[in-house]
Structure 1
Amino acid sequence: MNKIDPKIIFFGTPEFASGILESLIGAGYKISAVFTQPDKKVGRDRKIVFSPVKKLALRREIKVFQPESLREIRIIRDIGKIGANLFIIAAYGKILPKEILDIPEFGAINIHASLLPKYRGASPVQCAILEGEKETGITLMLMNEKMDEGDVLVQEKMEIGENETAQILLEGLEKLGAKMMVGFIPDWTSGKVNPRPQNHSQATYCQIIRRQDGKINWNFSAAEIHRKWRAYQPWPGIFSIIEIPAKDGKNQPKRIKLSEVEIIPRSETGEDFGKIIKYNQNVAVQAKQGLIVLKKVQLEGKNEMDMADFVRGYPDFVGSKLE
């Protein structure tokens, strides 16, 4: 069969998607248009921020679409008029309706950061770390109108390091996904790949992460809390509540973010979970089955500080308790 040069529409939003788009462009694939999430207003001044995919598309002079909904007849017609024969999706943030999925000759391929059917949904990397997985990977999947339920085209595994954060793991998965997608397109468009159905009975799911998910329960094991810290880097991070003396002499509850932590597993230091102690020259918090060593923290309304500086400013910190 003759080599086919596909005409691609790319759907994606965050850095993970931007890196994959960059690789496709670098490999010489024609990107006819990009679809990404609408611009966001962030911060106190409500500054408009473009998605990483939009920034890249504008630099490369690729036409950008940012519809609030993909179900409008006008949007479906606009996509059809582009004349693309392959859609590639990476962390777009919206499910494509059947009317759009039926448009391209070669279908819509989703780059998903897990070994499907495990961890369908919006936060597969974080979920894999939270669950203590030793490996994860990338799945290239032929999309249907349901969430991450389409046939598998190809998968590759990646090891999860013992102390690896979601941010670092996602960077590695982005590179793996880009390499896989660039190399896969010729085989797919020449008919060399046979899709295989997922085993839906083995499916697991993960939810959208929210800021409040970072709240620590000190009755959990140190290993579980450390996995939570790894999973929620850089956002939303993990935090607790501590009573801080106010100017009127009364204690005031404040959120304290644990920006950098280490784990001392299986340390028997009592069962007063959440208590802040000194342990081998470290400041640590008692958890079930171990200690969480604090390296850097950020008190609500303050800048991030290392522990030595923080304890100098708050001498009663050691001996108090995190809730």
Structure 2
Amino acid sequence: MSSLRVVFAGTPDFAASSLRALQQSRHEVVGVYTQPDRPAGRGRKLTPSPVKALALEYGLPVYQPATLNDAQAQTTLAAFDADVMVVVAYGLLLPRAVLDIPRLGCVNVHASLLPRWRGAAPIQRAIEAGDAESGVSIMQMDAGLDTGDVLAEARTPITATTTGGELHTTLADLGAETLATTLDAMAQGRTCATPQPEQGVTYAHKLSKAEAELDFNRPAAELAAKIRAFNPWPVAWCALDDDDARLRLLMASAEADAATAQPPGTLLAPDADALRLACGARGNQVLRVTRAQLPGGRALAVRELLNAQPPRLTEGTRLGRHSEAPGQPR
């Protein structure tokens, strides 16, 4: 089987999984592109991306241009004489001139089943929306936002306990594996590009810390999905009391057949393993939280938090910030 000359472009841990798979494949990685080093940690020290760190381990040449729009950057890229450019969570837009440089164009590893969840945060948005499955798409890139033809895909279920972090790891591995087999097929001219359907398009907007605050007027199932989706970042939270302390919520489910007359956000009688919170527009649903983190503490199973009997988590306490709807019980 023939091998391909590959230029790789990626930045975070998710992309590093694909670079590792390429380095272990029959194909030759001739150059690596990644974002410029960024300040990180308490000391704000310039820190290389996970892709750069891995590329240096492999002794691969690394390039960190601020843009690929200028002629010099495109000349440098063309000098690799690459068969294909693989792009995984790179963070820079590729202009048409760059897409046309490699002989076989540019392919992207995208963490969703396209055309569902085009955009920046497909992993978390799939969980937040209550999707039953997710997956990866290997896409032939074009000038649009995740609009190119799909060369291959692989699927994985989203369970009632899947977190954003767990799905990230699963899809990083699945994407790396699917990428390697897709490049093998490309080398043999066996790929089949399937245009994305026009129906079923959704956009996965970038996550923000601002949306991590929970509104207990929302349905229990919606809140539980959001809590799992935002674990480990940006982490769902609610106000504990008037001093702006926050309770971080990491795992939850909607309690079946629950009913309560308490105002949304009220702590109900706990069970052995969970905090139970009234929620929904009428406070008639129950959110069951099984993992949480108090200010200054570690993330713990709620059983451990309850054993410590924290005074802020007693039955009848109302969590969150509230603006009452007309007729809403107080």
Give the TM-score normalised by the residue count of structure 1: 0.90
Which residue is 1:304 aligned to? Answer: 298
Which residue number corresponds to residue 318 of structure 2? 321
Q: 1:284 aligns with which of 272, 276, 282?
A: 276
Q: How far is the alpha carbon of 1:200 from its aligned partner?
A: 2.8
CA shift digits 1:25-46 (9 cap, x unpaired): 1113211111111212123321
Look up the SS of the partner of 1:223 in the other structure.
helix
1: CA distance, partners of 2:206 / 2:246:
22
Gaps (5+ residues) in structure 2? 321-330
Q: Could you tell me which residue of structure 1 aligns to residue 157 of structure 2?
A: 159
Q: Tell me, in whole angstroms, the C-alpha distance in 1 between the residues paired with 2:306 and 2:297.
A: 10
**What do residues 178-213 of structure 1 show as CA deviations (whole Å, max 9, x unaligned)?**
221111213213322231211234311111111122
Offset, 1:233: 1.4
For 1:181-196, list aligned pairs within 5 A.
Answer: 181-196=179-194
Shift of 1:84: 1.2
Q: In the alignment, is the contact (CA less than 8 A) between 1:265 and 1:291 conserved in 2? A: no
> CA deviation digits over 1:8-65, x for unaligned, max 9?
0011111111111101111132111111112121233212222111110010011111
The residue correspondences of 1:34-53 to structure 2 (distance < 5 A) are 34-53=32-51
Quote the Cα distance in structure 2 between the aligned partners of 1:219 and 1:298: 22
Q: In 2, distance between residues paired with 1:285 and 1:78?
A: 58
User: How do 1:108-257 residues align onto structure 2 when only pairs under 5 Å count?
Assistant: 108-243=106-241, 251-257=242-248
Pick closer, same or farther for the CA change 1:278–1:47 going to 2, 3 Å.
farther
Deviation at 1:311, TM superposition (A): 7.9
SS in 2 for 1:176: helix
Quote the Cα distance in structure 2 between the aligned partners of 1:253 and 1:170. Answer: 31
Aligned match of 2:103? 105
Percent identity, aligned pairs only?
Answer: 30
When residues 148 and 285 of structure 1 are mapped into structure 2, their CA distance, relative to the original with a 3 A threshold, is same
Q: Counterparts of 1:261-280 in structure 2 under 5 Å?
A: 261-280=252-271
- Whole-angstrom CA distance in 1 between matches of 2:199 and 2:292: 43
3-state DSSP class of the match of 1:252?
coil
Q: Which residue of 2 aligns with 1:12?
A: 10
Q: Which amino acid aligns with 2:276?
A: A
Alpha-carbon distance in structure 2 between the residues aligned to 1:316 and 1:154: 51
Aligned residues: 312
Q: Which runs of 5+ in 1 are unaligned?
A: 244-250
Q: 111-120 vs 65-74, which deviates more?
A: 65-74
Q: What does the per-residue CA deviation read over 1:219-238, in whole Å, with 9 as the maximum and x for residues that have no partner?
A: 11221111111111111110
In the TM superposition, residue 291 of structure 1 has moved relative to its aligned partner by 2.2
Contact 1:95 1:147 in 2 (8 A): no
